[in-house]
Chains A and B, each alone.
Chain A
Amino acid sequence: MYQRLIPRIDVKDGQLVKGMQLEGLRNLGEASEFVKYYYDSGADEILYVDAVASLYGRNSLIDEIKKISKDVFIPLIVTGGIRNMMDIENVLKSGADKIGINSAAIKNPNLIKEAAKEFGSSTIVVSIEAKKVNEKIYNAFIDCGRDDSGLNVVDWINIAQQNGAGEILITSIDKDGCCKGFEVNLIQQIEKICNIPLIYSGGINSLENFKNITEFQIEAIAVGSALHYNAKQLLKKNKTTHYINLPKKLVPFNLKEAKKLIQ
């Protein structure tokens, strides 16, 4: 089986947004248009991150997912602000195929177990926002990357696995949206201990960088900015838009080109 390529769609009010280290959001356009474009280009799955739900409550998310799932026939992972069994059920019913839980799972690891039992292990992705706290240690952060849970990512992955998580999504907060390349040390720490599929997200800035990450033992790679700035130019409605204030070191690339490298 080859590695999966998953566009990461961070969404606020239906708009694709891109931030730096999960803060300071920039609007890139209609999220559903990007999703459709990536589906047509051959994405393996879509990672749909409700960028602000943890803090501000939900609103239009359910309608957005319903709209997207109508003509996108690949798995849709929805994460961001999912607090309890009811939230999981509602998001799944609206058309998500898997859900990612972060803060709620750290506060109550039993939620993973309960959710896996009710909705199936393969539906439950434990989403971890990892941040370097000293030279060697990465901790899991909660509430949109604001608070240190005090849990080491390695320990947390082990707990999540024991509780029946189906997959791990790890986002390097240090690298998220920074476009400075993926977090090598983090991946090296977790690739060996993770015995369920691992999705890595954060920092990938070029096709070259993407190519390097495929050497690691990860099952799926989520890419945001590097794909979005390429897609933005190709999407009809944005024809006149050029790369404005493109993050330094970012060399956007096309999803189809990236797919060729992993097939």
Chain B
Amino acid sequence: MNISIIDYYTGNTMSLISALNILGHTPNITNKKEIQKSDILILPGVGSFGRAMHNIKNLDLLENINDHVKKGKKLIGICLGMQLLFTKSYESEVNYGLNLIEGDVIRLKTGKEKIPNVGLKKTKWLDERNFLNFDNKEYYFTHSFVASPTNKNDIITEFSHNQNTYCCGVKKDNIYGFQFHPELSASNGIKLLKKIIDI
């Protein structure tokens, strides 16, 4: 299977590469045309939404990503990469995203738990059919913003912060997104990554 991690100059992809290696995959790290040959495209990312979208546009990646999705091939967004899948973000100023899934990216609400939200948290899976054994497992979060899908059917898993429930996993057709980092969530994360790749 041909997996590509989109390289758009944001963040560290080493952990993700290592996690895929453990699962027997050798991903390409690329922003070139070879993206088109990929069976699975992974959009990683830390950093700011605005800068990430700026880089994606400057590298002419928009069309490549859209084509990949149109062909029905799998796209996986992680952390900021998940947020980029959405319509727009309110981080610092309004920035428009890939708009592959309808919804906004909003700031976590303040309260006793601090922002950024950092550390392992249990998530609740809504798609029990596919993720029966994944419920109540912990994943590593580090973020201040979350995506809020307009269509609640797109949500596959949720977590809570300051007693508010937020979406932290989406699925729309063959597009998946996770706010937490499977590649930094020890064995739970590796299992999830395997599931998403194999599904």
Which A residues form the contact surface with B (CB < 8 A)? 1-2, 4, 39, 42, 44, 66, 69-71, 73-76, 92-98, 117-123, 166-167, 195-197, 219-220
A44 CA to B141 CA, complexed, in Å: 11
Chain A residues contacting B189 (CB-CB under 8 Å) are 73
Given contacts A120-B48, A122-B143, A122-B144, contact A96 B183 (CB under 8 A): no
Q: How far is the CB of B149 from chain A (nearest CB, A)?
A: 22
Check if A93 sits within 8 Å of B14, measured CB to CB.
Answer: yes
- Is B140 at the interface (CB under 8 A from chain A)? yes
Residue B142 is within 8 A (CB to CB) of chain A in the complex:
yes
Contact A74 B186 (CB under 8 A): yes
Q: Establish whether residues A120 and B80, one from each chain, have CB atoms under 8 Å apart when the complex forms.
A: yes
Q: Which of A70, A95, A120, A197 contacts B114 (CB 8 A)?
A: A197
Does B72 have its Cβ within 8 Å of any Cβ on chain A? no
> Is B184 part of the contact surface with A, judged by Cβ < 8 Å?
yes
Kindly state the separation between the CA atoms of A74 and B183 in the bound complex, as whole angstroms: 7
Question: Known: A73-B19, A120-B80. Contact between A220 and B46, CB under 8 A?
Answer: no
- B117 (CB) vs chain A CBs: closest residue: A1
Given contacts A120-B48, A122-B116, A166-B116, contact A73 B144 (CB under 8 A): no
In the complex, the chain B residue whose C-beta lies closest to that of A197 is B118
Residue pair B185, A73 in contact (C-beta under 8 Å): yes
Contact status A120-B47, CB under 8 Å: yes
Residues of B within 8 A of A92 (CB): 11-12
Chain A CB within 8 A of B115 CB = yes
Please tell me the number of chain B residues within 8 Å of chain A, measured between CB atoms: 35
Residues of A within 8 A of B121 (CB): 1
Give Cα A97–Cα B184 distance, bound, in whole angstroms.
9
In the complex, the chain A residue whose C-beta lies closest to that of B118 is A197
- Known contacts A117-B48, A120-B48, A122-B46; decide if A69 and B140 are in contact (CB<8 Å): no
Interface of B is mostly: mixed
Determine the residue in chain A with the shortest Cβ distance to B47: A120
Cβ–Cβ contact B12 & A74, under 8 A:
no
Residues of the A chain whose Cβ atoms lie less than 8 Å from the Cβ of B119: 1-2, 4, 44, 197, 219-220
Measured CB to CB, the closest approach of chain B to A52, in angstroms, equals 24
CB-based contact A74/B184 at 8 Å: yes
Contacting pair A197 B116 (CB below 8 A)? yes
Binary A-proximity of B8-25 (CB < 8 A = 1, otherwise 0): 001110110011011000
Bound-state Cα–Cα, A65 to B48, Å: 25
Which residue of the partner chain, among A75, A118, A123, contacts B184 with CB atoms under 8 Å?
A75
| A76 to B18 Cα, complex, angstroms | 13
Would you give the shortest CB distance from A217 to chain B, in whole angstroms?
Answer: 9
Residue B197 CB within 8 A of the other chain = no
Q: What residues on B are CB-neighbors of A94 within 8 Å? A: 14
Assess whether B113 is interfacial by the CB under 8 Å rule.
Answer: yes
Q: Is B37 an interface residue (CB 8 A)?
A: no
Question: Which of B12, B116, B190 has the most chain A CB atoms inside 10 A of its CB?
Answer: B12
Taking a contact as CB atoms under 8 Å apart, the answer to whether B15 and A4 are in contact is no
- Among A95, A167, A195, which residue has its beta carbon within 8 angstroms of that of B15? A95
B51 an interface residue at 8 Å Cβ cutoff? yes
Bound complex: CA of A44 vs CA of B139, how far in Å?
10
In the complex, the 9 A-B pairs of residues with the closest C-beta atoms, listed nearest first: A95-B14, A120-B46, A120-B47, A122-B142, A92-B12, A122-B116, A197-B118, A70-B18, A75-B184
Q: How far is the CA of A92 from the CA of B116 in the complex (A)?
A: 19
Taking a contact as CB atoms under 8 Å apart, the answer to whether A96 and B116 are in contact is: no
Inter-subunit contact B12/A1 (CB<8 Å) = no
